């Protein structure tokens, strides 16, 4: 739900900016507030998913954490700690991604202006679709498939059956297709 709300906010900024924006101070403040709300949603989502160890929308905490880690690495006893090394790699990758994303977004905005928000929204939709697909495939690949758990047939189970084939359904179909004359 937070990502969908973020998409709605970004699409609104894109549509309003492309068709209605008159460059007044009030409009600018409202659009910036909406974008800040969207980044706050993203930050809250990633923070809660990562047990509050990753924040993606600002670098102040990341820079502080990296500074602390690098100062710890000056002591020999911390250099071999795999957990600290992993944390430093994660924070460094977030920082590099943030800076590269800012450069890429700035250049893209220079050429596309407010249309860039459509591209961002499309990317977020692709992420949602991919995550939903992976969750459902993982769910249906287990021995506790939807049909076994709920004893009901639904559209998602039907589509999965068409793509991957579920043996229990095929057996039921074969039993249903036997005619009285065949026995």
CA 27/CA 6 separation, integer angstroms: 19
Instruction: Output the furthest CA–CA distance in the chain (Å, rounded).
Output: 84
Average pLDDT value for residue range 41-47:
85
CA 88/CA 86 separation, integer angstroms: 5
Q: What angle do CA 137, 142, 146 make, to 5 degrees?
A: 75
pLDDT band at 53 (very low <50, low <70, confident <90, very high): confident
Structure confidence by residue, pLDDT tens digits, 104-113: 989 999 999 9
Q: Is the pLDDT of residue 47 over 60?
A: yes
- What are the CA-CA distances from residue 27 to residues 21, 32, 33 (Å)? 7, 8, 10
CA 26/CA 22 separation, integer angstroms: 10
């Amino acid at each position: 739900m937070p990502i969908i709300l973020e998409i709605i906010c970004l699409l609104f900024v894109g549509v309003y900016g492309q068709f209605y924006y008159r460059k007044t101070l009030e409009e600018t403040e409202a659009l910036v507030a909406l974008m800040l709300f969207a980044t706050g949603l993203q930050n809250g989502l990633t923070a809660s998913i990562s047990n509050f160890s990753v924040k993606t929308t600002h670098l102040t905490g990341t820079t502080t954490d990296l500074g602390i880690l690098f100062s710890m690495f000056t002591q020999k006893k911390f250099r071999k700690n795999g957990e600290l090394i992993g944390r430093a790699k994660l924070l460094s990758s977030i920082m590099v991604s943030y800076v590269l994303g800012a450069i890429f977004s700035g250049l893209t905005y220079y050429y596309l202006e407010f249309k860039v928000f459509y591209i961002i929204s499309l990317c977020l939709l692709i992420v949602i679709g991919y995550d939903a697909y992976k969750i459902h495939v993982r769910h249906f690949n287990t021995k506790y498939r939807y049909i076994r758990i709920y004893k009901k047939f639904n559209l998602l189970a039907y589509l999965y059956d068409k793509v991957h084939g579920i043996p229990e359904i095929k057996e039921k179909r074969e039993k249903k297709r036997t005619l009285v004359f065949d026995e």
